[in-house]
Structure 1
Amino acid sequence: MSTDAMDLDSASISAPRVQINLSTRDPTLSVPLQSLRVPTNLKRYGLSTLVNHLLETAKPIPFDFLIDGQYLRTSIDEYLTQAGLSSEKPLDVEYVRSQLPPTYIGSFEQDDWISSIHLSPSPSSSILTGSFNGTAQITSLSGDVLVRTVPMHTHSVKTVTWISPPSPTNEATFLTAGIDRTINLWSYTPSADPSSTVQASPTTSYISHKSTITSLSYSPSTSQFLSASSDHTIALWSTNSSLLPTSTAPTSTSFSRKRRRTTSKLPTTERKGPLTVLTPHTAPVSQVIHSPDPTAAYSVSWDKSIITHDLVTSQVVDTRVTQHALLSIATLPSLNLIAAGSAARHITLHDPRASSKTVQSAVLRGHTNAVVTFARSPESDYVFASGGHDGCVRIWDVRSVSSSTSADEDGGKSGGSLFVIKRESGGGKVFGVDWSKDVGLVSVGEDKKIQVNRGEGMADVSVLEQS
Structure 2
Amino acid sequence: MSSTMDVDPPTTQMIQINLSTRDPTLSIPLQPLRIPTNLKRYGLSTLVNHLLDTPKPIPFDFLVDGQYLRTSIDEYLTLAGLSSEKPLDVEYVRSQLPPTYVGSFEQDDWISSVDISSSPSPTILTGSFNGTAQITSLSGEILAKTVPMHTQSIKCTTWISHSSTEASFLTAGLDRTINLWSYTPSQSPDTQPVTPSTTYISHKSTITSLSYSPSTSQFLSSSSDHTIALWSTDSSLLPTVSTPQSTAFTRKRRRTTSKPPATIKKGPLAVLTPHAAPVSQVLHSNDPTAAYSISWDKSIITHDLITSQPVSTRTTNHPLLSVTTLPTLSLLAAGSSARHITLHDPRESSKTIYTAVLRGHANGVVSLVNSPESEYVFASGSHDGTVRIWDVRSVSSSDGDEGEGKSGSSLFVIKRESGSGKVFGVDWSKDVGLVSVGEDKKIQVNRGEGMADMEVMDQSK
Partners of 2:314 and 2:350 within 8 A in 1: no
Alpha-carbon deviation of 1:302?
0.3
Residue identity in the other structure for 2:294:
V
Q: How much does 1:168 deviate?
A: 1.8
Q: Name the SS for the 1:204 alignment partner.
A: strand
The 8 Å contact of residues 369 and 380 in structure 2, kept in 1 or not, is answered as yes
1:23 paired to 2:20? yes
What per-residue deviation string (whole Å, max 9, x for no partner) do you get for residues 2-26 of structure 1?
Answer: 7655xx6xxx852111100000001
Match of 2:411 in 1: 418
Distance 1:410 1:192, change over 3 A: closer
**Deviation at residue 439 of structure 1 after TM alignment:** 0.2
In structure 2, the partner of 1:463 is 454
Decide whether aligned partners of structure 1 residues 372 and 396 sit closer, same or farther in structure 2, where only a CA change above 3 A counts: same
Work out whether residues 355 and 404 of structure 2, in 8 Å CA contact, stay in contact via their aligned partners in 1: no
Q: Which runs of 5+ in 1 are unaligned?
A: none
Task: Report matched runs for 1:25-424 at 5 Å.
Answer: 25-165=22-162, 167-169=163-165, 171-193=166-188, 195-353=189-347, 358-404=352-398, 407-409=400-402, 411-424=404-417
- Quick one: which of 8, 11, 14 aligns to 1:14? 11
Aligned mates of 2:152, 2:231 — CA distance in 1: 22
Q: How does 1:438-449 map to 2 (within 5 A)?
A: 438-449=431-442
What SS does structure 2 have at the residue aligned with 1:246?
coil
Asked whether the equivalents of residues 371 and 378 of structure 2 are also in contact (C-alpha less than 8 Å), the reply is yes
Q: CA RMSD in A?
A: 1.5
For 2:364 and 2:457, locate their aligned partners in 1 and report how far apart those are by CA, in whole Å.
21
- SS of 1:402's partner is strand
Matched-pair contact (CA < 8 Å) for 1:318–1:354: no
Judge which range, 407-416 or 210-219, deviates more. Answer: 407-416
Per-residue CA deviation, residues 60-117 of structure 1 (Å, 9 max, x unaligned), is 1110000110001111111111111111111110000010110000000000000000
- Counterparts of 2:245 and 2:187 in 1: how far apart (Å)? 36
Deviation, 1:123, is 2.9
User: How far off is 1:359 after superposition?
Assistant: 2.0
- Quick check: 2:6–2:34 contact (8 Å CA) kept in 1? no
Q: Tell me the distance in 1 between the aligned counterparts of 2:10 and 2:190.
A: 65
**What is the CA-CA distance between 1:353 and the residue it aligns to?**
2.0
Amino acid at match of 1:62: P
Residues of 2 paired with 1:129 and 1:465: CA distance?
29
Distance between the aligned counterparts of 1:311 and 1:339, measured in 2? 21
- The offset of 1:267, in angstroms, is 0.5
Equivalent pair of 2:356/2:404 in contact (CA under 8 Å): no
Distance 1:105 1:207, change over 3 A: same
Query: Take 2:10 and 2:141, find their aligned partners in 1: how far apart are those partners?
Result: 57
Cα 1:415–1:178, aligned 2, differ >3 Å: closer, same or farther? Answer: same
* 1:407 Cα deviation after fit: 2.9
| Percent identity over paired residues | 77
Cα pair distance change 1:251/1:431, threshold 3 Å: farther
Per-residue deviation at 1:191? 0.2
C-alpha contact (below 8 Å) 1:180/1:251 kept by paired residues: no
Distance 1:353 1:54, change over 3 A: same
Cα contact 1:182–1:251 (8 A) shared by 2: no
- Residue type of the alignment partner of 2:370: R
C-alpha deviations, 1:334-368, integer Å up to 9, x for none?
00000000000000000012556622010000000
> Which amino acid in the other structure matches residue 168 of structure 1?
S
**1:149, 1:199 within 8 Å by CA — same for their partners in 2?**
yes
Q: Is the 8 A contact 1:292 1:333 kept in 2?
A: yes
Distance (whole Å) between structure 2 residues aligned to residue 453 and residue 408 of structure 1: 35
Q: Equivalent residue for 1:429?
A: 422
| Residues 188/357 of structure 1: CA separation in 2 closer, same or farther (3 Å cut) | same
C-alpha displacement of 1:411: 4.2
Are the aligned partners of 1:175 and 1:184 in contact in 2 as well (CA < 8 Å)?
yes
Whether contact under 8 Å (1:73, 1:465) holds in the other structure is no
1:118-156 CA-partner distances (Å, limit 9, x unpaired)? 001233211000000000000000000000000000000
Change (3 A) 1:50 1:452: same
Q: What is the distance in 2 between the residues matched to 1:251 and 1:243?
A: 24
In 2, the alpha carbon distance for the partners of 1:299 and 1:183 equals: 18
Q: 1:410 to 1:144 in 2, by over 3 A?
A: closer
TM-score relative to the length of structure 2 = 0.96
Report if aligned partners of 2:5, 2:32 keep a CA contact under 8 Å in 1. no
Alpha-carbon separation, structure 1, partners of 2:41 and 2:210: 42
Q: Distance in 2 between matches of 1:307 and 1:356?
A: 10
